């Protein structure tokens, strides 16, 4: 589904991604861990097409298409979803109207007829239930005045509504209390299918107890320096990232 080859990217002239390789297949859940500033959010931004990131080298293929050539909205329409680390507030735009617009655009891109009001409402109800999202928040202005946790949960609600192929969750767990974490994880697990894939960026092993990944990667200084299975997450929790740093230095010397 997703093939990243030797990806180099910079922001404001600063090299952030330095030759990143990663392959994600349908049905898989990959966790990406790494210290602060390693480039995890940058990777998510580059995949989603944020304008201020410049790709200087490498390729990204999504479902056989060159992702880097697409506008951000087309990437979304193709099925790339990013649950933001810091979701923005958009005053006056109701959550539900926003989603209606988004779904309308995505369906139009895929040559699907628009959902009628009834079908849309039905879908919304169903997904609210699936991810246990508060109905009151559905009609409020998009993220306006939402608590940190509510914003994160709204990202998951949107994910459920838009049914993307590849979901990138950027530290969705940070700022969530344990109950919210459980609910969010439960939601994600329900949304897992053989057709879609998840890229879960997290600092903490904790989340991976709920959403069990197929693979765990360590992103360090703009590269994936180690990959393994879920046991790697435990190891990281125990030892931190410093041992990787040494290893990295040995490796490059």
Partner 1 sequence: MANDKEIIDNIANKEYEFGFVTDIEMDVAPAGLNEETIRYISARKNEPEWLLEWRLKGLQAFGRQKLPAWQNFEMPPIDFQKISYYAAPKSKKKYDSLDQVDPELLATFEKLGIPLNEQKALAGVAVDVVFDSVSVATTYKEKLKELGIIFCSFGEAVREHPELVKKYVGSVVPYSDNIFAALNAAAFSDGSFVYIPKGVRCPMELSTYFRINTENTGQFERTLIIADEGSYVSYLEGCTAPMRDENQLHAAVVELIAMENAEIKYSTVQNWYPGDKDGNGGIYNFVTKRGICKGANSKISWTQVETGSAITWKYPSVILQGDNSTGEFYSVAVTKNKQIADTGTKMHHIGRNTRSRIISKGISAGQGQNSYRGLVQMGSKADNARNFTQCDSLLIGDRCGAHTFPYIESKNNSATVEHEATTSKIGEDQIFYLNQRGIDSEKAVALIINGYAKEVLNQLPMEFAVEAQKLLSITLEGSVG
Ligand X SMILES: Nc1ncnc2c1ncn2[C@@H]1O[C@H](COP(=O)(O)OP(=O)(O)O)[C@@H](O)[C@H]1O
C-beta neighbour count of 120 within 10 angstroms: 17
DSSP state of 68: G
Among 66, 101, 189, 193, contact with partner 1 (rule: CB under 8 A): 101
Among 4, 33, 34, 41, contact with Mg ion (rule: CB under 5 A): 41
Among 62, 81, 146, 220, contact with partner 1 (rule: CB under 8 A): 81
Q: How far is the CB of 76 from partner 1 (least distance, A)?
A: 4
What is the DSSP annotation of 82-115?
EE-SSPPPEEEEEHHHHHHHHHHHHHHHTTPPPP
Tally of CA atoms within 13 A in the half-sphere of 185 that contains its CB: 19
When asked if residue 54 is in the footprint of partner 1 (CB under 8 A), the reply is no
Residue closer to ligand X by CB (options 2, 161) is 2
Kindly give, in sequence order, each residue whose CB lies less than 8 Å from that of residue 108, ignoring residues fewer than 6 positions away. Answer: 114
Euclidean distance between CA atoms 74 and 56, whole angstroms: 21
Q: How far is the CB of 247 from partner 1 (least distance, A)?
A: 35
- 156 neighbors 187 (Cβ within 8 angstroms): yes
Task: Determine the size of the site formed for Mg ion (CB under 5 A).
Answer: 2
The span of 35-43, 69-77, 128-136, 221-229 binding Mg ion (CB under 5 A) equals: 35-43
Residue closer to partner 1 by CB (options 172, 205) is 172
Give the helix ranges, DSSP H, for the chain.
40-48, 72-78, 95-109, 117-130, 135-138, 148-162, 178-191, 205-210, 230-239, 242-252
Q: What angle do CA 127, 78, 164 make, to 5 degrees?
A: 25
Which partner, ligand X, Mg ion, partner 1, none, binds residue 38 by CB below 5 to 8 Å per kind?
Answer: ligand X
Instruction: Build a one-symbol-per-residue string for 151-180: x at contacts with partner 1 by CB under 8 A, - elsewhere.
Output: -------x---x------------------
User: Which residues form the interface with partner 1 (CB under 8 A)?
Assistant: 48-52, 71-73, 75-77, 81-82, 84, 87-88, 90-93, 97-99, 101-103, 105-106, 109, 141-142, 158, 162
Judged by the rule CB under 5 A, the positions of this chain that interact with Mg ion are: 40-41
């Amino acid at each position: 589904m997703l093939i990243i080859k030797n990806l180099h990217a910079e922001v404001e002239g600063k090299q952030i991604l330095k030759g990143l390789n990663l392959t994600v297949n349908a049905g898989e859940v990959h966790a990406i861990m790494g210290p602060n500033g390693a480039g995890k959010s940058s990777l998510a931004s580059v995949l989603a097409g944020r304008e201020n990131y410049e790709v200087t080298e490498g390729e990204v293929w999504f479902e056989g298409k060159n992702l880097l050539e697409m506008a951000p909205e087309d990437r979304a329409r193709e099925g790339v979803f990013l649950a933001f680390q810091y979701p923005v507030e958009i005053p006056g735009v109701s959550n539900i109207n926003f989603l209606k617009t988004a779904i309308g655009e995505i369906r139009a891109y895929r040559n699907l007829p628009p959902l009628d009001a009834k079908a849309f409402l039905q879908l919304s109800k169903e997904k609210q239930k699936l991810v246990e999202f508060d109905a009151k928040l559905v009609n409020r202005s998009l993220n306006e005045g939402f608590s940190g946790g509510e914003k994160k949960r709204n990202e998951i609600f949107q994910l459920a509504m838009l049914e993307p192929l590849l979901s990138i969750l950027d530290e969705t767990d940070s700022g969530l209390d344990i109950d919210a974490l459980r609910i969010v994880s439960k939601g994600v697990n329900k949304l897992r299918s053989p057709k879609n894939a998840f890229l879960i960026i997290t600092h903490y092993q904790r989340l991976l107890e709920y959403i069990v990944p197929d693979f765990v990667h360590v992103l360090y200084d703009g590269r994936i320096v180690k990959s393994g299975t879920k046991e790697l997450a435990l190891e990281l929790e125990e030892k931190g990232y410093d041992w990787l740093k040494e290893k990295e230095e040995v490796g490059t010397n």
